[in-house]
């Protein structure tokens, strides 16, 4: 367990950075590049621990994958040539690897065993295993087939029309990937649109996939062809510095080359709603993904009610939005975010516990939280609880105060942002 003493003496943040590649897109690029015949080159790949788990899983199935820093080259003979792995597949901490990979393995005529770390082993897998069972896969696991470790006997799948009971891009993606390997046409009809990187990228790899509002249709058995992917910067990583710039007096930060896919930009909307000085410049579209620069300058903030359709567009940013709300004058309410309870930690509980410890006035609710700002925070002993986004939220909170914060298990930040502290130090000015 790594300990870190956070004591920055109330600096300002100033400067320009590019955050590492998008985690969701990096995972998908490795998966689809491995399923496609030919050579796929990925640039600006996120070499965080989660995406390295995805690489290792496909290497175990015989795909040649070479990585040099943030450049990955995949040479695959296509899905037909994947082999049965000899050893169980370790998914580490990664929910995305688990849910999407289950969709792929369900369509392969082999047996697989999957396991993850303590956190991932508590996260529900029945939400993806159930539709895959309906398609014909045989999946079993701990707690009546609900939790990892799990075994999969994949093979011939039939298509389904699926209405996900939860708002989840991972479930939509897992079913679409099984649909890609199934006979016939599979449909996924969401109630609220979630991130659509799977749809965009499968199109680029040549899949027969159509999107009509919140309904996605995929025709099975269409072979993928290789396709080079340039990964945009991860807006979920950028969010920590965008919020820091908004709440630390005298700050001005610019994040360059960050993904602006509308299914992910809820953090921009929330910052605007709360009165932050934010400027967005769109620069290019690559592989169906909009990319641009975001500049935030510190300003007075007002509270907001955050609910409904925006929630999937900010789901991973809610911990840092909670910190933002502690610095806004008045009561911020976050609702409809019950999915937070199924992340690396129960993020309603871990955010409320942590911010309360640091002096914030915050109450957890069944599907969100109420934050009573504006509050001066203080130091203390905290724990990331092994959740990278909680660890980064604590590090940003420490910039607001003169006292020190002790952070237990800071190392988990490497799951999504290995050079987070290096970037933080680049921006610190006095
Ligand atoms: O991969 P993992 O661990 O599930 O990662 C998280 C995160 O905070 O980085 C969630 F804990 O992001 C998910 C996100 O919450 C990544 C993701 C994706 O790439 O499809 C979708 C979201 O999860 P879900 O369950 O809503 O589909």
Q: Has residue 86 got a pLDDT over 90?
A: yes
Q: Has residue 234 got a pLDDT over 90?
A: yes
Q: Which of 120, 167, 169 to mutate to test the pocket of ligand 1 (most atoms within 8 A of CB)?
A: 169
Q: b/e map of 134-149 (b: 16 or more CB within 10 Å)?
A: ebbbebebeeebebbb
Q: Which of 96, 101, 319 to mutate to test the pocket of ligand 1 (most atoms within 8 A of CB)?
A: 96
What is the predicted pLDDT for the residue at 263? 98
Of ligand 1's listed atoms, the one at least distance from the Cα of 23 is 19
Average pLDDT over residues 396-407: 97
Cα–Cα distances (Å) from 109 to 57, 88, 123, 182, 227, in that order, read 16, 16, 26, 12, 25
Kindly report the average pLDDT of the chain as a whole number. Answer: 97
Of ligand 1's listed atoms, the one at least distance from the Cα of 169 is 27
- CATH T-level fold of 3-20+232-429: UDP-n-acetylglucosamine1-carboxyvinyl-transferase; Chain (3.65.10)
- The verdict on the CB of residue 53 being under 6 Å from ligand 1 is no
What is the predicted pLDDT for the residue at 287? 85
Q: What is the CATH number of domain 23-230?
A: 3.65.10.10
Place of tokens 């190392």: 411
Q: What is the pLDDT of residues 161-215, one digit of tens each?
A: 999 999 999 999 999 999 999 999 999 999 999 999 999 999 999 999 999 999 9
CA of 414 to the centre of ligand 1 (A): 15
316 as an active site residue: the answer is yes
The neighbouring-strand residues paired with 72 are 42, 67
Of ligand 1's listed atoms, the one at least distance from the Cα of 96 is 1
- The verdict on the CB of residue 345 being under 6 Å from ligand 1 is no
Residue spans per domain, the chain? 3-20+232-429, 23-230
CA of 227 to the centre of ligand 1 (A): 24
Q: What is the pLDDT of residues 367-382, one digit of tens each?
A: 999 999 999 999 999 9
Q: Is the full-model pTM beyond 0.95?
A: yes
CA of 239 to the centre of ligand 1 (A): 15
Average pLDDT over residues 254-282: 98
Of ligand 1's listed atoms, the one at least distance from the Cα of 315 is 15
- The verdict on the CB of residue 24 being under 6 Å from ligand 1 is yes
Average pLDDT over residues 270-291: 96
CA of 217 to the centre of ligand 1 (A): 22
Q: Has residue 1 got a pLDDT over 70?
A: no
Instruction: Judge whether 3-20+232-429 and 23-230 match in fold.
Output: yes
What is the predicted pLDDT for the residue at 21? 98
Average pLDDT over residues 245-268: 98
Rounded to whole angstroms, how far apart are CA atoms 426 and 132? 46
Catalytic-labelled residue, pool 196, 234, 316, 383? 316
Give residue 430's pLDDT band: very low, low, confident or very high (50, 70, 90). Answer: confident
Q: Has residue 2 got a pLDDT over 90?
A: no
Instruction: Give the DSSP per-residue string, 254-320.
Output: EEEEEE--TTTTHHHHHHHHTT-EEEEEEEEEETTEEEEEEEEE-------EE-GGGHHHHGGGHHH
Q: What is the pLDDT of residues 135-162, one digit of tens each?
A: 999 999 999 999 999 999 999 999 999 9
Q: What is the pLDDT of residues 316-373, one digit of tens each?
A: 999 999 999 999 999 999 999 999 999 999 999 999 999 999 999 999 999 999 999 9
Q: Which of 19, 52, 57, 170 to mutate to test the pocket of ligand 1 (most atoms within 8 A of CB)?
A: 170
Cα–Cα distances (Å) from 313 to 45, 174, 267, 310, 379, in that order, read 22, 19, 8, 5, 31
């Amino acid at each position: 367990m790594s300990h870190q003493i956070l004591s920055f003496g109330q600096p300002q943040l100033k400067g320009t950075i590019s955050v590492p590649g998008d985690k969701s897109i990096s995972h998908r690029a490795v998966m689809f590049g491995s399923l496609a015949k030919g050579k796929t080159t990925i640039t600006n790949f996120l070499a965080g621990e989660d995406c390295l788990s995805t690489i290792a899983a496909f290497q175990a199935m015989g795909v040649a994958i070479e990585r040099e820093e943030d450049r990955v080259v995949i040479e695959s003979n296509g899905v037909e040539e994947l082999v049965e792995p000899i050893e169980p597949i370790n998914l580490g901490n990664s929910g995305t690897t688990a849910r999407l990979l289950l969709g792929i393995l369900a369509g392969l005529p082999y047996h697989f065993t999957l396991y993850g770390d303590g956190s991932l082993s508590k996260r529900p897998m029945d939400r993806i295993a159930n539709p895959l069972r309906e398609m014909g896969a045989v999946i079993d696991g701990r707690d009546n087939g609900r939790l990892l470790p799990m075994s999969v006997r994949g093979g011939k799948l039939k298509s389904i029309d699926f209405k996900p009971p939860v708002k989840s891009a991972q479930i939509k993606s897992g079913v679409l990937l099984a649909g890609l390997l199934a006979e016939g046409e599979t449909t996924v009809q969401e109630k609220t649109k979630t991130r659509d990187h799977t749809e965009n990228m499968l199109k680029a790899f040549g899949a027969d996939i159509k999107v009509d509002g919140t309904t996605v249709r995929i025709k099975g058995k269409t072979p993928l062809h290789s396709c080079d992917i340039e990964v945009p910067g991860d807006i979920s990583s950028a969010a920590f510095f965008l919020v820091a710039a908004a709440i630390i007096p005298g700050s001005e930060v610019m994040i360059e080359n960050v993904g602006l896919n509308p299914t992910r930009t809820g953090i921009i909307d929330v910052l605007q709603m709360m009165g932050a000085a934010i400027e967005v410049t769109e620069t290019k579209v690559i592989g169906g993904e909009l990319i641009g620069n975001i500049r935030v300058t510190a300003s007075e903030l007002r509270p907001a009610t955050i609910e409904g359709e925006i929630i999937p567009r900010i789901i991973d940013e809610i911990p840092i939005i909670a910190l933002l709300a502690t610095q806004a004058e008045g009561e911020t309410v976050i609702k409809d975010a019950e999915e937070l309870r199924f992340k690396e930690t129960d993020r309603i509980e871990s955010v409320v516990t942590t911010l309360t410890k640091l002096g914030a006035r915050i109450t957890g609710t069944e599907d969100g939280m109420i934050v009573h700002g504006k509050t001066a925070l203080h130091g203390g002993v905290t724990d990331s609880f092994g959740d990278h986004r909680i660890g980064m939220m604590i590090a940003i909170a420490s910039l607001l105060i003169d006292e020190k914060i002790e952070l237990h298990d800071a190392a988990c930040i490497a799951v999504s942002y290995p050079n987070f502290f290096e970037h933080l130090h680049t921006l610190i000015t006095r």
